[in-house]
Amino acid sequence: MPNAMRSPGASLVDGEHRSDRVHELEAMIAAVQDGILTIDGSGIIETLNPAAERIFGYAAAEIIGQSVGVLTQEHGREGHDTYLRTYHRTGESSIIGRTRELVGRRRDGASFPLELTVTRVDTSGRVMFAALVRDLTNQRRAEAERAALADQFFQAQKMEAVAALAEWMAHDIGNILNTMVAYAEFAADNLAKDDPMAAMLRDAAGAGMRGKDLLRQLMMVGGSGSAERELIDLAAIVGDATQLFRCAEGQGVRLILDLPAEPCLVHGRGIQLYQVVMNLMINAIQAIADTGEVRVSLDCVVLRSPEGGEAERPNAVCLRVGDLRIGFPYVRLSVTDTGSGMDADTLSHIFEPFFTTKTSGTGLGLSAVSGIIDGHHGGIVVETCKAEGTRFTIFLPRADV
């Protein structure tokens, strides 16, 4: 069988003597990467080249003699005969003589995008059609990859903008706080030690200093900041941070702490890790509409899987951020709520700056968490299920091993 347009027991030109040009034409048709089919006036496939066999997954002997409608989606197959009858009766066509995109159907039933050009050919007193088919699967995949790269570039630009804004805000607001702290301390020093106003002024100065610490956390959204790392017991930080949320228990939220008796040591920046716990707690409490439960647990683990463990709920969707290493010792912090949960689309955006599903807030809390944990060479695993709640799990490298 010549490597050209194929039909059972016949080629494009019958007879014992074929010119060199016919051989050349058949060789070219067999070599092209696009599919070529010839179809009779009633829509029956008569020949197809090797590229068409490859595109649709059929051998020539399997498909020749069948309606061309088997190569399209079901709704296209059903309407194919009607379309041809209309064309033969009226001459009107939305396909013949034009190039358009359709959804093809392979032998295994898989759908794929294709570009189709159909041309009418009048030969030997009968009507035939020549169809040129181009598989667009790789083109669509490349377009999707380019779109993903463009989205990554856009996200990087957003992060740069957030970092610049954070630096500007921290600088200017820091100057304001420095002035307030200085005047409060100066006024307190000029009052008697037992004067109640002196104590209030020193509290004001202390609040201003804490405000400066919080400003440094804004810098973490952009990955900047110069605080020195130290050996930290994460259990102590979690215990201190969660005390601020005890008031939520009187508002329908039950707070459960599961903290180890022994220290959970990490190398890090204490104020940043404190901010991580605060942001996760705020996020968990806000996820609960009326009544519910927030559980905070801490332990030391050796990672056994890239996801940090098996999902407890089979219908949950998960998101993993950071480079977690199997067999590596971590301190694991989990904050779990019984709130409304998230769908997959919402989950995919939660660490983006300014993204929020709430009516108030800046949308910087979880973005800051992601920046801080990344700066500590840790990772985050989020497991959520619509109407069943969400669990944030933070992994930080252990410092005592």
- Same domain? For 214 and 323 the reply is no
Tell me what percent of the residues of the chain surpass a pLDDT of 90.
24
Question: Would you state the pLDDT for residue 300?
Answer: 93
Q: Are 338 and 256 in contact (CB under 8 A)?
A: no
Q: Domain check: are 210 and 74 in the same one?
A: no
Window from 16-30, 146-160, 189-203 with minimum mean pLDDT: 16-30
Look at strands 99-105 and 253-258 and give their pairing: unpaired
CATH of the domain at 45: 3.30.450.20
- Select from 166, 191, 220 the last residue of a domain: 220
* Max avg pLDDT among 59-73, 88-102, 245-259, 348-362: 59-73
Among all chains, which residue has been given the structure tokens 């299920």? Answer: 385
Task: Indicate whether 117 and 155 sit together in one domain.
Answer: no
Closest CA to 368 of 211, 164, 222: 222
User: Phi and psi of 125, rounded to 5°?
Assistant: 75, 15
pLDDT at 233: 92
More confident residue, 43 or 56: 56
Shared domain for 41 and 172, answered yes or no, is no
Q: In CATH, what number is assigned to the domain containing residue 198?
A: 1.10.287
Q: Does 12 reside within a domain?
A: no
Q: How confident is the model at residue 280 (pLDDT cuts 50, 70, 90)?
A: very high
Percent pLDDT > 70 in the chain is 77
- Do 172 and 281 lie in a common domain? no
CATH code, domain with 332:
3.30.565.10
SS3 90: helix
Q: What is the mean pLDDT of residues 89-96?
A: 64
Cβ pair 174, 180 in contact under 8 A: no
- Rounded-to-integer distance, Cα 66 and Cα 45, Å: 6
Name the more confident of 269 and 212. Answer: 269
Among 76, 103, 135, where does a domain finish? 135
Mean pLDDT rounded to a whole number for the chain: 80
Q: How confident is the model at residue 380 (pLDDT cuts 50, 70, 90)?
A: very high
Distance CA 33, CA 366 (A): 49
Residue range of the domain that includes 247 = 230-397
> What is the SS3 assignment for 259?
coil
Q: Is the domain of 239 the same as that of 213?
A: no
